[in-house]
Homo-oligomer: A and B are copies of this chain.
Amino acid sequence: MNDLEVRQLRYFVAVAEELHFGRAAERLGMAQPPLSRTIRDLERQLGVTLFERTTRQVKLTGAGEVLLRDARTALEAVTAAARRARHAGSAAPRLRIALKADIDGGLLPQILDAYSTDPAALPPDLVLGGFGAQPQAVRDGLADVALVLRPVDDRGLDSEPLLTEQVLVAMAATDPLAARNQLCLADLAGRSLPNGAPADDGRTSSPPPGVTTPASNLSEIFSLVETGSIVFFAPLSVARRNPRPGVAYRPVSDLPNCTLAVAWPHDARSPAVAAFVRAAVEVAHHAHAHAETHMHSGTA
């Protein structure tokens, strides 16, 4: 009934992922026999068989599969604890804000402005990452707070919605479909998407119309859009701030709206995180109240 150790979990995950003791041992930088022994001890300790193994094949049992899931989240929790403690103890702690470039609803400057007036504010660091990487960054303790697009994998996170926006499709102005004012997803079947587009997170969202094409930033994406190589789903605020002659934005009838939200670890207690969340909600509320006229940031 002794407790599990991180080492055991890490070894187990390696074997579960490789389904091969030799390769797993190599990946772990150790020899195969002690790995086999550790897994055997783990099974004894849990009173459960985790792998069905013959000399030719290793596969997970049911219990092994549930442990794989839980072990991963437990390991995440442990490494996050270390990261956050390291960061909290650093001489000049900062607030690390995870977001995807350009996906901030245009609110980021104002949020940072409002946030910086809070006495609890720490200097902000922007942690940029690909689409969908923000929640993981927060979970892993690489960031303290994040701006995310819902729906999102929010295990371990609390979040507060900021604003909901229509999602438009960006396409070449010369595209035949651009002549129409209303499209639906079916019309886009077969078009290429940039990798990591907002509407393409693979979980609850719309079925991807076609293949994806690698592109990392907006200017790359827009060049591809202009040439008609891809189409691209963009929230309204992104579309507004990126008017381009060669690009037409069109609403898509059956594409769900996306919601920008601020997210933080469930158990966050840092005043700086609280201050940022407060600022974000406040700014979003204002922006919403002032409807869609224009917004004065205007402090000095």
Contact = CB atoms under 8 A, between A and B. Distances in A.
Nearest to A270: B66
26 contacts: A3-B6, A5-B6, A46-B86, A46-B89, A48-B85, A48-B86, A48-B89, A49-B89, A62-B89, A63-B88, A65-B269, A66-B84, A66-B85, A66-B269, A66-B270, A67-B88, A70-B77, A70-B141, A73-B81, A74-B77, A74-B81, A77-B77, A77-B78, A155-B156, A156-B156, A156-B266
Nearest to A154: B266
A189 to B, nearest CB: 30
A81 to B, nearest CB: 3
A80 interface: yes
A49 to B, nearest CB: 6
A68 to B, nearest CB: 9
A33 interface: no
Contacts of A84: 66-67, 70
A5 B3 contact: no
A10 interface: yes
A78 B79 CA distance: 12
Q: For the complex of A and B, list the 9 residue pairs with the smallest distance between their C-beta atoms, beginning with the closest.
A: A48-B89, A63-B89, A70-B81, A74-B77, A67-B85, A155-B266, A66-B88, A63-B88, A77-B77
